[in-house]
Amino acid sequence: MTDTAERALGQATPLVSSPRARRRSELTRRDVVVSTVLTGAATLPTIALAFLAYEMLRSAWPAIVFNGTSFFTTKTFTLGNLYATSVETHHGYQAAAGAHYGVLPFVFGTVVSSFIALVVAVPVSVAGALLLADKVPARLQGTLGIFLEVLAGIPSVVFGLWGVYTFGPLLSRTVFKWMAALHIPWLSGPTGAGQGLLTSSLVLAVMIVPIIASTSRELFRSVPVLSKEGAVAMGMTPYEAVRVVTIPFVRTGIIAASILGLGRALGETIAVLIISGNALNLYPHSIFDPFSTMAASIAAILDGALTDSTHMAVHALGEVGLLLLVITLIANLGGRWLTRRFSTTGLPVGRGV
Amino acid sequence: MSRRRLTDLTFWVVCALAFVFIAAPSVSILASVIHQAVPSLGWSLFSQRTNANGIENAILGTLVLLVGVLVVAGTIGVAAGIYLAEFATGRSERLLRFFSDVLSGMPSIVVGYVGYVTFVVAFHWGFSLLAGVIALTILVLPYVVKTTEVAFRQVPTTIREAAAGLGIERSSTVLRILMPPAAPGVLSGLIVALAISTGELAPLLFTAGFTDQNPSLAPLHRQVPYLTNVTFTDLSLPGARAHATAAAAAAVSLVIVVLLITAGRALSRRSRRMTQGMML
Amino acid sequence: MKRLILLALVGSVALAACGGSSNNASSTTSTTAGTTTTTSVTVTTGNPTAAVTLNEAGSSLLYPFLQELVTPLHTQYSNITLAPSPGGSGKGISDAISGVVQMGGSDAYLSPGQLSANPGLMNIPIAVSAQAVNYNLSGVSNLKLSGDVIAQIYEGKITKWNAQPIAALNQNVTLPDTTIVPVRRVDSSGDTFIFTSFLSATNTTWQSGPAFGTTVTWPAAPGELTANGNPGMVQTCKATPGCIAYVGVSAEASAQTAGLGEAMLENKAGQFVQPSSDTITAAAAAGSGNVPANLAQSLIYEDGAQSYPIVNFEYMVLKSSQSSSDTALAMRTFLAWAVDPAGGSSSTYLAKEDFVALPATVLPKVKAAIAQITG
């Protein structure tokens, strides 16, 4: 029972241990002490989670009351006039004069950039992982796998640096120019220096590739060799074997890994902060325009929000953070639920593992 | 060539291209960071602090933070992982593990925001080492817990049963007998935690602050410098020297991460060999 | 005998200061050098007995100036170390309020809300600085602009450099048909504060719309870019032909090196001027006639044919009540030394950043504020 349950919840490798007998009468006093200490430690992640959720809710609460539903319908996010002598009051809470806190621009930026990142990253990761798992000879596995590990370990600020100085300008000189020349609506416009929605999405894609690719590689390796070889023996080309045998076997696992990659993209702060151009209240008119995401805007606006003497700006950012927390939670839980229901093998290794 | 063979060839060519799209950025990033860092290389990079275009304080600060994370997240995470692997049962086991997994998806800015609002302001710690270490701990704890748990579960049951048969109490079994074979796996988890901590910025921006001075070991009221901040703020301070310093900070943090990853790989290989050897 | 009286007075002032009560103006000659006013305040300064580090964070406009002051300050007072860091005026103010740093650097004075929510919070000016408007148009130098036109640019109403309103101001210049790319600060910035103050003073739509502040709701100008810090503004503008950006004078040298043009702005008297020590001093003198006791004073768009329109006090934001008497002493000493022409306000340090010293009329009020810092 324990084995399947544990596998269902997702372990990185198959488990070896079998059920441990519980004979309470044989636990010594030292055992009890040790196990109590360990229990305490084991509850700390749960306590940390509860602490985060509670604090976010508590900080967001004044803004939730002040904003009401306009949080989800207002198209602008403005801290108002912090130097005015009057304040606004709604439902008993004060905010700076002229303050409106609408989250739509940030949600739009977050969702669109993460979606594009996913659309680019998943095929690239799966195809690359497939190559690594099936076509690359064993002796090269380690060396080629290094690229994935290096990518996984690069700090997001370095991705930002690279996006601004190398990747962005390269893209704007080449790919973006060609795209703009095609004059497809929303896919053309002033390409600028390479900072904007598309560049950020592509950098996000590069950042989540390691998560998806490492997991996919493990999944591909776990496909029963007999099935693959049987297919080839029946006359299928390697590609057809992949299509018929491998993909159905790993499909759910890959979806789960993609959802974890999505979770990472949704929460990515620093790289987006650097490359996005931080367009407050602007919906990008083209894919090259600056934009803003929930995570990046919290980091960008928090210093300014702290100068609001009514403190409502900080609470409003808390509400944005709470929404981000909820969205990321749903994405991650969705992935785990899918795994529990369908997977027969391993799972997302997360960052860097 | 038949159509099927052609499709096969095209498919694998596409896969190779995809792999190139994975490999190229990683090479490009390393190359561009090193290239931009070169003008700043020299002894003064490591002997001067950030107020004089050096990164001595940032390197020391990062190391201090890493030690803090190792101590705090290391002990808590390993203890929690051992609990989940060896002592927990039933619903509480599943719930604790579930919440730990949920915690691993937490956006780092949320941790930074909560850290600022509570530790820095409400608790009056100010930007401090303790606030930074706690923020990092919250982020990396799930990884340490999971890898520790897996490492312990990989130790064959025969050993546990043998120990029980000899009358050794549970806690001794776990700590003295199961720990050595599990150790490489546990260590590799700690290494992942350190690698993640080296690269984090968002939570530290709002909990650790920054300073031009060398870090002090005081847990409260003293801001802590660290490498990723140098890269981040120097992005907005132009001038070739400042830019090269930022790239140098990025290069050093990459070097630390690469060293950690290499150590981690070596350890997990050793761990696999050890447990395989034990399955007689 | 005289010395005894002086000592007794200084001693009683020191005791009164540590007692926490504020004003102790007495008609004695000031113990700080150089002032010739008859009614002045005695500020207790000196080297603290233990080493004190004064942590400062905030304005990127003020930051280079503070960096210059670190070594001379430490040479003069061996137990005081100034540790400045950039981050934007908004961060400076909020860090000072929350107490994570002892002093916040800000180009913006405190808002009425901040002052009333934080009793004991003070802003003390230590220098006068200014802000230039830079642009990236090759071949065009000495472009004339007015606040009204600039506001319309940042509102997105004027999008081309050769548009009529700009051409009308620059009749003898051929302006290219380039798209204007406005650049603004993304961090909570004192430069944004003084820039938007200028726009509010010259354009009524801006005044009733975004108004002014360290963070404002920028209108949706197409193609607008963002940057972090003054150096970031220079860098972004340098990389973007057709850009227009507001840059603090301490970063002007790098703007010139980057090849950016410096606009001549129309002041209240209708003259077009660029920031120079003369034009900045003129504006500061014109605006310092009636500074309130809390020193929150704007110097934007002042009268005077020579006055440059975007001029501001550089403030240190701090709490009057400090945690220890040593910290309070260090703070008073640093501030008094910083506004002293023989100390921090010497022309060598100021000129390097294109700052000017505080006008003499303001000094007594500044000293009175410094004297309120106790611990």
**pLDDT exceeds cutoff 90 at B132:** yes
Would residue C171 be called left, alpha or beta, if left means φ above 0 and alpha means ψ between -120 and 50 degrees? Answer: alpha
Q: Are B224 and B179 in contact (CB under 8 A)?
A: no
- B-chain residues near A298 (CB < 8 A): 109, 113
- Cα distance between residue B6 and residue B9, in whole Å: 5
Distances, alpha carbon B54 to alpha carbons A123, A280, B31, B232, C284, in Å:
42, 35, 21, 15, 38
Residue predicted with more confidence, A134 or C79: C79
**pLDDT exceeds cutoff 50 at B165:** yes
A45 contacts chain B (CB < 8 A) = yes
Tokens at A247, concatenated: 């993909």
Distances, alpha carbon C104 to alpha carbons A336, C54, C193, in Å:
46, 10, 15
Of A144-153, A185-194, C194-203, the poorest mean pLDDT is in A185-194
CB contact under 8 A, C111 and A82: yes
Residue B108 is predicted with a pLDDT of 94
Residue A18 is predicted with a pLDDT of 43
The H-assigned helical ranges of C247-356 are 252-257, 277-287, 325-338, 347-352
- Cα distance between residue A268 and residue A173, in whole Å: 26
CB contact under 8 A, A277 and C213: no
Residue A342 is predicted with a pLDDT of 64
Distances, alpha carbon C42 to alpha carbons C24, C25, C39, in Å:
8, 7, 10
Residue with tokens 């319309």: C152
The H-assigned helical ranges of chain A are 2-9, 29-67, 70-73, 104-130, 138-153, 156-162, 168-173, 175-182, 197-221, 225-233, 238-241, 247-267, 270-275, 294-305, 312-342
**pLDDT exceeds cutoff 90 at B181:** no
Give the B-side interface with C, CB within 8 Å: 51, 120-121, 124, 126-127, 209-213, 223, 233, 235-239, 242
Among A81, A282, A305, whose Cβ lies nearest the Cβ of C220?
A: A282
Tokens at B96, concatenated: 């604790």
Burial of C271: CB neighbours in 10 Å, binned 0-12, 13-18, 19+: middle
Among chain A residues, the shortest Cα distance to B138 is held by A48
Among chain B residues, the shortest Cα distance to A31 is held by B171
- Cα distance between residue C339 and residue C359, in whole Å: 10
CB contact under 8 A, C70 and B127: no
- C-chain residues near A309 (CB < 8 A): 111, 113-114, 116-118
Amino acid (1-letter code) at residue C147: G
Question: CA geometry: angle at C221 spanning C216 and C227, to 5°?
Answer: 60
Whether the model pTM is above 0.95: no
**pLDDT exceeds cutoff 80 at B213:** yes
Q: Is A205 helix (H, G, I), strand (E, B) or coil?
A: helix
- Cα distance between residue A353 and residue B147, in whole Å: 9
Task: Assign a CATH topology to domain A103-342.
Answer: MetI-like fold (1.10.3720)
The residues that bridge with C128 in the sheet, in sequence order, are C313, C356
pLDDT level of residue C1 (50, 70, 90 thresholds): low
Q: Which CATH class is domain B40-278?
A: mainly alpha
End-to-end CA distance of chain A: 28
Burial of B5: CB neighbours in 10 Å, binned 0-12, 13-18, 19+: exposed
The mean pLDDT value for C114-125 works out to 92
The mean pLDDT value for B141-162 works out to 90
> Sign of torsion, CA A277 A278 A282 A287?
positive
Give the A-side interface with C, CB within 8 Å: 76, 78-85, 87, 96, 98, 190, 192-193, 195, 277-282, 285, 290, 300-301, 303-310
Nearest to C357 by CA among C341, C337, C334, C333: C341
Residue C109 has phi, psi (to 5 degrees) of -80, 165
pLDDT level of residue C29 (50, 70, 90 thresholds): very low
Among A55, A157, A166, most B C-beta atoms within 10 A, so best to mutate, is: A157
Chains contacting B with at least 3 CB pairs below 8 Å? A, C
Tokens at B79, concatenated: 């203890």
Tokens at B47, concatenated: 């002997």
Among B213, B235, B239, whose Cβ lies nearest the Cβ of C83?
A: B213
Nearest to C233 by CA among C206, C219, C252: C252
- B-chain residues near C235 (CB < 8 A): 236, 238
- A-chain residues near B278 (CB < 8 A): none
Tokens at A139, concatenated: 């002796």
CB contact under 8 A, B239 and C254: yes
Q: Are C198 and C241 in contact (CB under 8 A)?
A: no
CB contact under 8 A, C85 and B212: yes
pLDDT level of residue C26 (50, 70, 90 thresholds): very low
pLDDT tens column, A66-114: 999 999 998 888 888 888 888 888 888 888 888 889 999 899 999 999 9
Residue B268 is predicted with a pLDDT of 72
Average pLDDT of chain A, as a whole number: 83
Residue B224 is predicted with a pLDDT of 92
- A-chain residues near C217 (CB < 8 A): 76, 78-80, 98, 280-281
Among B83, B196, B253, whose Cβ lies nearest the Cβ of A41?
A: B83
CB contact under 8 A, C90 and A307: yes
pLDDT level of residue A349 (50, 70, 90 thresholds): very low
Say what the alpha-carbon torsion angle A6, A9, A10, A13 is, to the nearest 10 degrees: 0
Return the top range by mean pLDDT from A147-151, A184-188, A196-200, A321-325. A321-325
Q: In this prediction, what percent of chain A has a pLDDT beyond 90?
A: 33
Of A177-191, B183-197, B249-263, the poorest mean pLDDT is in A177-191
- Cα distance between residue A303 and residue C215, in whole Å: 10
CB contact under 8 A, B236 and C235: yes
Contacts of C109 (CB under 8 A, 6+ apart): C123, C295, C296, C297, C298, C313, C315
Residue with tokens 């703009």: A180
Q: Are B273 and B185 in contact (CB under 8 A)?
A: no
Chains contacting A with at least 3 CB pairs below 8 Å? B, C
Window 123-162 of B, Cβ < 8 Å to A: 138, 141-143, 145-147, 150, 153-157, 160
Distances, alpha carbon B255 to alpha carbons A47, A165, A207, B33, B265, in Å:
34, 20, 18, 11, 15
The residues that bridge with C317 in the sheet, in sequence order, are C104, C123
Of A294-303, B136-145, B253-262, C226-235, the poorest mean pLDDT is in C226-235
Nearest to A112 by CA among A281, A263, A293, A274: A293
pLDDT tens column, A13-32: 444 444 444 455 566 788 88
- Cα distance between residue B232 and residue B237, in whole Å: 10
Among C98, C118, C256, C327, most B C-beta atoms within 10 A, so best to mutate, is: C98
- Cα distance between residue A74 and residue A80, in whole Å: 14
Domain boundaries, chain A: 103-342
DSSP classification of residue C187: S
Q: If residue C372 lies in a helix (H) or strand (E), which one and from where to where?
A: none
- Cα distance between residue C178 and residue B277, in whole Å: 73
- Cα distance between residue B129 and residue B143, in whole Å: 22
CB contact under 8 A, A304 and C215: yes
Residue A352 is predicted with a pLDDT of 35
The mean pLDDT value for C296-316 works out to 94
- Cα distance between residue A195 and residue A206, in whole Å: 16
CB contact under 8 A, C187 and A304: yes
- B-chain residues near A124 (CB < 8 A): 18, 21-22
pLDDT tens column, A58-76: 999 999 999 999 999 988 8
Residues present in chain A in total:
353
pLDDT tens column, C285-299: 999 988 998 899 999
Domain boundaries, chain B: 40-278
**pLDDT exceeds cutoff 80 at A285:** no
Among B223, B237, B241, most C C-beta atoms within 10 A, so best to mutate, is: B237
Among C112, C117, C186, whose Cβ lies nearest the Cβ of A85?
A: C112
Q: How far is CA B198 from the centre of its chain?
A: 6
Residue A25 is predicted with a pLDDT of 53
pLDDT level of residue C40 (50, 70, 90 thresholds): low
B7 contacts chain A (CB < 8 A) = yes
